[in-house]
């Protein structure tokens, strides 16, 4: 059974569209479940800042890969891929249509496509993480350039996380390929992307961040900080969370933390859009089509078992 994957920039309405499609299919007698493809929705307690759909917003549709990790645990791409693929296979085995709701292009690509992951070693990575903290990303990028010139050329000097990973893999294998292979499905899928005009997306992101603050985002981060958020290698770096942590640590004012969250989220959305546009397999549709869920559900029902 073909996976329906909904992709596109943050704040484009993917989650609500997925639920609307699923409800229509279920009402028509077709089982349907949603598999989360956002790397931060896996963390328990990270609700407000990730715009995690509430139980009410899920409308009774089963969701997978949500609330499965503690904030101190690390969600690697390989771990996420394996978990999402297991959930998809389980849905298919039970005759339920899986709808994958994408987060970053990398995670969706890892879940749906042929992709090999290089080995990892916790001790080696921890050593390079400590070196990153000691010298900073720019200096560590210089170390990478000495050890693997090709990898350094493909990684921005400020991207500490990728620099550490490249140094880890280079040490373990002698090489690190910083570019992704041409996409080839490992799991049959149809990808639908939501297009949002830039000005509209910027407005939606600002509105979302305003809503996060009104909903108690700062208190959420404060609570998670006492539960070990700062100890997590991935959760603490989530958009908004690292900015609020900087506020709680006295490094930013609250107003500056809020504005920095808006700016960082807009930058991330533009990066997402650039990634998605490279994939010619995605069918792009307007985010504000009021009949979009009905059209997609009707197409699935009309074509029988498979989509696309």
Out of 149, 173, 197, a domain closes at 173
**Do 61 and 27 meet the contact criterion of CB atoms below 8 Å apart?**
no
Question: ∠ CA 76-77-78 to the nearest 5 degrees?
Answer: 90
Q: Could you read off the pLDDT tens digit of each residue along the chain, which spans 308 residues?
A: 899 999 999 999 999 999 999 999 999 999 999 999 999 999 999 999 999 999 999 999 999 999 999 999 988 888 999 999 999 999 999 999 999 998 788 889 999 998 777 777 888 888 999 999 899 999 999 999 999 988 898 888 888 888 998 999 888 888 766 555 677 899 999 999 999 999 999 999 999 999 999 999 999 999 999 999 999 878 988 999 999 999 999 999 999 999 999 999 999 999 888 888 889 999 999 999 999 999 999 999 985 434 43
Check whether residue 190 and residue 140 sit in a common domain.
Answer: no
What local confidence, expressed as pLDDT, does residue 176 receive? 67
Check whether residue 144 and residue 215 sit in a common domain.
Answer: no
Total of domains in the chain: 2
- Parallel, antiparallel or unpaired: strands 32-37 and 63-64: parallel
Check whether residue 102 and residue 227 sit in a common domain.
Answer: yes
What local confidence, expressed as pLDDT, does residue 50 receive? 96
Q: Minimal CA–CA distance to 277: which of 4, 1, 7, 3?
A: 7
> Would residue 308 count as lying in a domain?
no
**Do 247 and 262 meet the contact criterion of CB atoms below 8 Å apart?**
no
Provide the edge-to-edge strand list for the sheet that holds 283-286.
Answer: 63-64, 32-37, 97-102, 3-7, 189-195, 283-286
Helix (H) or strand (E) holding 32, with range, is strand 32-37
Check whether residue 165 and residue 217 sit in a common domain.
Answer: no
How far does CA 235 lie from the centroid of its chain?
12
Check whether residue 213 and residue 160 sit in a common domain.
Answer: no
Task: Give me 51's structure tokens.
Answer: 């715009």
**Do 208 and 51 meet the contact criterion of CB atoms below 8 Å apart?**
yes
Check whether residue 12 and residue 109 sit in a common domain.
Answer: yes
Check whether residue 157 and residue 193 sit in a common domain.
Answer: no
What are 20-63's pLDDT values in tens digits?
A: 999 999 999 999 999 999 999 999 999 999 999 999 999 999 99
Check whether residue 142 and residue 284 sit in a common domain.
Answer: no
Question: ∠ CA 277-280-282 to the nearest 5 degrees?
Answer: 80
List Cα–Cα distances, 44 to 13, 81, 101, 183, 204, in angstroms. 22, 19, 18, 32, 25
> Would residue 275 count as lying in a domain?
yes
What local confidence, expressed as pLDDT, does residue 272 receive? 85
Residues 6+ apart with CB under 8 A from 75: 39, 42, 43, 69, 234, 235
What local confidence, expressed as pLDDT, does residue 183 receive? 77
**Do 19 and 61 meet the contact criterion of CB atoms below 8 Å apart?**
yes
Whichever domain contains 138, its CATH number is 1.10.20.140
What local confidence, expressed as pLDDT, does residue 306 receive? 42
Q: Which residues constitute the domain of residue 165?
A: 122-173
Helices (H), the chain: 14-27, 77-93, 105-112, 122-135, 137-147, 149-154, 160-173, 198-214, 217-226, 241-248, 254-277, 292-303
**Do 71 and 43 meet the contact criterion of CB atoms below 8 Å apart?**
yes
Whichever domain contains 237, its CATH number is 3.40.50.300
């Amino acid at each position: 059974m073909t996976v329906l994957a909904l992709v596109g920039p943050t704040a484009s309405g993917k989650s609500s569209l997925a639920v609307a499609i699923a409800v229509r299919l279920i009402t028509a007698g077709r089982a349907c479940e949603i598999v989360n493809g956002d790397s931060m929705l896996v963390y328990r307690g990270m609700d407000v800042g990730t715009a995690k759909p509430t139980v009410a917003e899920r409308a009774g549709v089963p969701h997978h890969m949500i609330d499965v990790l503690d904030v101190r645990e690390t969600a690697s791409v390989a771990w996420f891929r394996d978990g999402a693929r297991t959930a998809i296979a389980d849905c298919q085995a039970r005759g339920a249509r899986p709808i994958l709701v994408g987060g970053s292009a990398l995670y969706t690509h890892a879940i749906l496509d042929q992709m090999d992951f290089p080995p990892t070693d916790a001790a080696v990575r921890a050593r390079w993480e400590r070196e990153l903290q000691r010298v900073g990303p720019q200096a560590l990028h210089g170390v990478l350039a000495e050890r693997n010139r090709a990898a350094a050329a493909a990684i921005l000097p400020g991207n500490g996380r990728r620099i550490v990973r490249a140094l880890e893999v280079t040490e373990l294998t002698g090489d690190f390929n910083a570019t992704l292979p041409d996409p080839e499905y490992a799991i049959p899928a149809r990808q639908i992307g939501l297009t949002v005009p830039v000005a509209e997306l910027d407005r939606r992101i600002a509105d979302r961040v305003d809503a996060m603050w009104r909903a108690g985002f700062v208190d959420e981060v404060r609570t998670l900080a006492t539960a070990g958020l700062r100890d997590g290698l991935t959760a603490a770096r989530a958009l908004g969370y690292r900015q609020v942590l900087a506020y709680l640590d006295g490094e930013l004012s609250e107003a500056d933390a809020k504005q920095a969250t808006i700016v960082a989220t807009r930058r991330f959305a533009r990066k997402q859009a650039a990634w998605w546009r490279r994939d010619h397999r995605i069918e792009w549709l307007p985010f504000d089509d009021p009949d979009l869920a009905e059209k997609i559900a009707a197409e699935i029902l009309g074509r029988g078992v498979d989509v696309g």
